[in-house]
Amino acid sequence: MKESKKQKIIYIENVEWNYIKARPQYIAENLSKDFDITVYSPYSYKLGKRNFKVDGSCDVKFVKKLPFEGRFPLIARLNQLYKKYYFKCRIKNDIPIVYVTYPEAYEFIPETYDGIVIYDCMDDMLEFDMSAQSRMLVQRLEKALYKRADVVFVSSENLKRKLFDRYSIKEDCYLVRNGYDGNIADVPLISTQKNKNFEVCYFGTISSWFDFDVIKKSLNAIPNLEYKFIGPIEKMITPYQHERIHYIQPVPHDELQHMTSDADAYILPFKVNDLIEAVDPVKFYEYINFSKNIISVYYDEISRFEDFVYFYKDTNQYINVIKKLMQDNTPKYSQEKRLKFLGESTWDNRAQMMSSVIVKELNTGAKRNIEVGAEQ
């Protein structure tokens, strides 16, 4: 598109822009090549605007809210009411596209809005830890959003199947997997340091799905094994403490390769549950870019990574993989295979897929008259 003809998008996401860089930020930045995007991100009183950075031409605005909404349902409801008013003043019919990334944003879209609504479903939202009452609310809102949306994007095959089973098949539902930033990293040298522990690294959020049991047992079984975990630890988690585990606060994304340069392997130590089984891990793309061996728990959605990843199904298999790599840590995949995969998996490629769908929707003007929230 020519710059002067960029269509406007109001882009509503639920991850603080400078918390940890993930799909919402990358997609917004890359879609801004084709669209005039204003991103509305929740404001974090803890983070403020520290490390604030935008790679792209999208305009990021922070929506402030009352603190402690996770502790007090009344505050959460007040914040939701405020955001309904906030967006009602901004979402007008002269805005052709509203793009949302979570079910609660359905309440922000005025009933009178007649533009295109896009829902980018990145996770199975109903499987996050929440009260039964909250889960009922999220399901009601997601169902209404799914029916109201002109286009639905999903990040995994399993997630697409779940939505179809839950809310019925939708023609305009497109699989757009996750990716990486497109900056192919230099290939690191295999560590040849003597008297060095075998260092295994993970970067990303540590939450309820993180399997500390396999970490603990592997440390007990292998005396020269150590871990480096980089990223935020959610408040409800009490991380396992050990002298050979090093916890590091989140760092800017472009510093991750340097921070993990001494690592011998990367891991994805998740507990396999209904939430995880629908995840296409962003970390896999970044791990492959950093060109070191990868160890991950197995589940069906990620079986397509078998050429790049050492999978395990139980603790003994995990320990055996580490012992094998301690003897020979040559990367499992060739550089030719790595470069081919990376060339096909950039966030820019993903955004171009989305852009073509959005442009088609704009050109056809196909609109479905769906009674909001009605039962099928």
User: pLDDT (tens digit, 9 = 90+) per residue, 176-190?
Assistant: 999 999 999 987 766
pLDDT at 365 over 90: no
pLDDT of residue 211: 97
| Separation between Cα atoms, residue 232 and residue 321, nearest integer Å | 27
pLDDT higher than threshold 60 for residue 370: no
State how far the Cα of 320 lies from the Cα of 309, in Å rounded to an integer. Answer: 14
Question: Per DSSP, what are the bridge partners of residue 39?
Answer: 11, 60
For 3-179+346-364, give the CATH class: alpha beta
Q: Could you tell me how far CA 142 lies from the centroid of its own chain? A: 18
* Contacts with 202 (C-beta within 8 Å, 6 or more apart), sequence order: 227, 228, 229, 230, 231, 266, 267, 268, 269, 283
Residue 7, classed as helix, strand or coil, is strand
**What pLDDT, on the 0 to 100 scale, is given for residue 372?**
32
**What phi and psi values does residue 314 have, to the nearest 5 degrees?**
-150, 175
Task: Supply the pTM of this predicted model.
Answer: 0.90
Which of the pair, 16 or 44, is modelled with greater confidence?
16
pLDDT value for 368: 40
Q: How far apart are the first and last CA of the chain?
A: 38
- Structure confidence at residue 374 as a pLDDT band (50, 70, 90): very low
- Dump pLDDT digits (tens) for 101-157: 999 999 999 999 999 999 999 999 999 988 898 899 999 999 999 999 999 999 999
Work out the angle between the directed axes of helices 23-31 and 347-364 (0-180°, nearest 10). 60
| Whole-number Å distance between alpha carbons of 161 and 146 | 14
SS (H, E, C) 337-350: HHHHHHHCCEHHHH
Domain boundaries, the chain: 3-179+346-364, 198-340
- Residue 162, C-beta contacts closer than 8 angstroms, at least 6 positions apart: 124, 278
Structural Rg of the chain based on CA atoms: 22
Residue 49: predicted pLDDT: 54
Backbone angles phi, psi at 308, to 5 degrees: -115, -20
What ranges make up the beta strands (E) of the chain?
Answer: 7-12, 35-42, 59-63, 97-100, 116-121, 151-154, 173-175, 198-203, 225-230, 245-248, 265-268, 293-297, 309-312
At 12, give phi and psi (nearest 5°): -110, 115
| The CATH classification of domain 198-340, taken from the options 3.40.50.300, 3.40.50.2000, 3.40.50.720, 3.90.550.10 | 3.40.50.2000
pLDDT level of residue 15 (50, 70, 90 thresholds): confident
Euclidean distance between CA atoms 199 and 292, whole angstroms: 12
**42 has a pLDDT exceeding 80:** yes
Structure tokens at 7: 């269509």
* 203: nearest Cα among 129, 257, 279: 257
Distance of CA 327 to the CA centre of its chain: 34
pLDDT for the residue 304: 96
List, for residues 57-88, the tens digit of each pLDDT value.
899 999 988 888 878 889 988 999 999 999 99
3-class secondary-structure state, position 332: coil
| Per-residue pLDDT band at 373 (split at 50, 70, 90) | very low
Q: Which residues are within 8 A (CB) of 8 and not within 5 positions of it... i.e. 6 or more apart?
A: 35, 36, 37, 38, 95, 96, 97
Distance CA 270, CA 298 (A): 9
- pLDDT number for residue 366: 45
Q: Evaluate whether 109 touches 87 at the Cβ level (below 8 Å).
A: yes
Domain 3-179+346-364 and domain 198-340, same fold? Reply is yes
Is the model more confident about 353 or about 252? 353
